[in-house]
Structure 1
Amino acid sequence: MPRILIIDDNEDNRDVLARRLQRRGFDVISADGGRQGIQLASDDSPDVILMDMNMPELDGWDATRQLRQQGIDVPVIALTAHAMEGDRQRALEAGCNDYHTKPVELDVLLETIETLLNAP
């Protein structure tokens, strides 16, 4: 079963998304911020990372850049509640593989996850 790492500073967001993904058969781990997320990505080898982009201390932009600099090549899907023009491109330039806005449309997110997991 694929393992998904959710990195989000909002506990409610993490819990709701984790429950929804677990019901769909995913193994879910979560981190409350960018630093913890980088550590879990390194230690627990997730198959996909869902990265909140707007977090205090270490935001998703910089956390994704650090993951890539460390050679962690796991697909990263950017998630943000405050979508601004240009954010999608900015996320892709930071190293994300895709970009979704909150509230997350689960079926669309699942399609993206499936596509990334099956990519060559």
Structure 2
Amino acid sequence: MAKVIVADENEGRRSLLANTLERNGFDITRAATLRQAEGTALAIMPEVVLIDGEWKSGDAIDASQRLMADPEFAFKCRIVILARNVSQEYLVSAAQSGIAEVIRKPVDMNKLIDQLNKHSRKQFVPPPADVASATGGGGTFDV
């Protein structure tokens, strides 16, 4: 049973996601703030941290960067963001922050469950954006 943290400041949405995922076999921990999500994630090292992309207080990408700065977390865990904003700029920021996937809202629950299963088994999922082409680096540099 994969451990997943559901982080969303909207209690109704958090409960809906958590209850649906529990019915589908996930071991769920709920977090109402980004700080709570970060602390809990570092303590329990879940397979996946599912974070809402829009917060009144805080930023999901910043929280993800802080989590991914922990080497043990970065090795063991994946972060998935649920977001309305799926602009190329947002996707590049997400990829640069170590976020494994950005899923667009409104969420298709069947797709979400399939993707969380893939992430919990550490299967390949394409990154949110191609960071090399977005930064113009392409993996080469002029000496």
What TM-score comes out, normalization by structure 1 length?
A: 0.89
RMSD between aligned alpha carbons? Answer: 1.6
Partner amino acid for 1:56? K
Greater Rg over alpha carbons, structure = 2
- Is the contact between residue 47 and residue 119 of structure 2 (CA under 8 Å) also seen in structure 1? no
SS at match of 2:95: helix
Q: Distance in 1 between matches of 2:21 and 2:84?
A: 19
Instruction: Show the counterpart of 2:27.
Output: 27
Name the amino acid aligned to 2:13. N
1:68 aligns with 2:68: yes
How far apart, CA to CA, are the structure 2 residues paired with 1:41 and 1:89? 23
Partners in 2 of 1:31 and 1:75 — Cα distance? 16
Pairing 1:90–2:81 present: no
Which structure 2 residue ranges, 5 or more long, are not aligned?
A: 124-143
| Helix, strand or coil at the partner of 1:109 | helix
TM-fit CA distance, 1:105:
0.9
Q: How does 1:47-58 map to 2 (within 5 A)?
A: 47-58=47-58
CA distance in 2, matches of 1:118, 1:40: 20
Distance (whole Å) between structure 2 residues aligned to residue 116 and residue 44 of structure 1 = 17
Q: By how many angstroms is 1:57 displaced?
A: 2.6
Name the CA distance, whole Å, in 1 between partners of 2:87 and 2:49: 21
Q: What runs of 5+ residues in structure 1 fail to find an aligned partner?
A: none
The yes-or-no answer on 1:5 pairing with 2:1 is no
Number of equivalences = 120
Tell whether 2:104 aligns with 1:104.
Answer: no
Name whichever of 99-108 and 83-92 sits farther off: 83-92
Superimposed CA distance per residue, residues 92-111 of structure 1 (whole angstroms, 9 cap, x where no aligned partner) = 11210011022211111122
Q: TM-score, normalised by structure 2?
A: 0.76
- Which moves more between the two structures, 53-62 or 29-38? 53-62
- Deviations 1:6-48 (CA, angstroms, capped at 9, x unpaired): 1111111100001110110111111112111100101122111
The alignment-based identity, stated in percent, is: 26
Could you tell me which of 81, 86, 91 is aligned with 1:78? 81
DSSP 3-state at the match of 1:5:
strand
